Structures are given as structure tokens and as C-alpha cells.
Amino acid sequence: MDNLILALGWIGVFSPVALGAVGSAIGCSVAGQAACGAMLDVESGYGKFIGLSAMPSSQVIYGIVIMFTLSGIGVSIKSAPGLLGIGLLTGIALMYSAIYQGQAVAACINASKNKPEVFGLSIAPAAIVEGFAVFAFVFALVLGQQIAA
């Protein structure tokens, strides 16, 4: 039974980076596909579309930092439940925020290819979604410090 509890603790440690990477891959793919489609319709300004399509990759970076923070606490019978709860739920939040940020970026690209003057304003929804990833990141770091090793 102790081994199962420890295994669940390790799942919690690695969930933020694993799920953040899954979400980032999906989000960047969705945004990248929109960028490729937009490049067929415009004569210049491709760089902003490609650069913007990488925006969902930040969630995996947050996941890496959380993973190192949680692993520094140490996985024990006492810490495993907290590590699982914080790590798994944060990983899910990062995954979903990256996926939806990719969709918001795709909408931005599609809007700005036809009307370039709205490019700056159309990034706002993607930035708001990024804010939720930052909230999850900060909460995981703060709550992680409350876990007793």
C-alpha cells in the first residue's frame, strides 16, 4: 500500500510537466495550422503569425518549474496526497489553458489576416487565457510550500 501511495505522489510531481506538454503541443498545433493557412492568404507579415503560434508553449515551462518545486519537497507517505492533488490538478489546468489558448491564437490569426489593424486587440483573449495558467502556476507554488515533507 505504501508503494501505491508513493507512486501517486510521483504522479503528482510529474503531472504538471506532462499534462502541460500535452496541452502545449495541441495548442501550438492548432495555432500553427491557422498560421499556415493565413500565410496562403497574405503577402507579408508571416513572422507575427508564426511567433504567435508559439504562445501556448509557456504552459509546459510553468509545468517544468512546478515539477522541480514539488520534487524538491520530497515524496513521502505524508507528502504524497498533497503532491498528487496539487500536481495533477495544476497539470490539468495547464493542459486546458494551453489548448484553449491555441484556439484563441488561431482566432486572432484568422481575424488579423483579413483585417491587420485588429492584430493587437485580437491577442487579448489569448493573453487572458495565459493569465489563468499563471494563476494555476502561482497557486501551485504557494500551496506546494504548505506540504509537509
* CATH code for the domain in which residue 123 is found: 1.20.120.610
Q: Is residue 87 one of the residues assigned to a domain?
A: yes
Show the cell assigned to 75.
515524496
29 residue type, one letter: S
Q: Is residue 8 one of the residues assigned to a domain?
A: yes
Tell if the pTM clears 0.85, that is, is over it: yes
Q: Is residue 109 one of the residues assigned to a domain?
A: yes
Nearest to 16 by CA among 73, 100, 79, 93: 93
Please report where in the chains the cell 512546478 appears, as a residue.
Answer: 66
Are 27 and 99 in contact by the 8 Å Cβ rule? The answer is yes
Are 59 and 96 in contact by the 8 Å Cβ rule? The answer is no
Q: Is residue 110 one of the residues assigned to a domain?
A: yes
Q: Is residue 133 one of the residues assigned to a domain?
A: yes
Q: Is residue 149 one of the residues assigned to a domain?
A: no
pLDDT tens digits for range 21-44: 999 999 999 999 999 988 887 777
Counting the structural domains of the chain, the total is 1
Domain that holds residue 68: 2-144
Residue 149's pLDDT is what? 64
pLDDT tens digits for range 84-115: 999 999 999 999 999 999 999 999 999 988 88
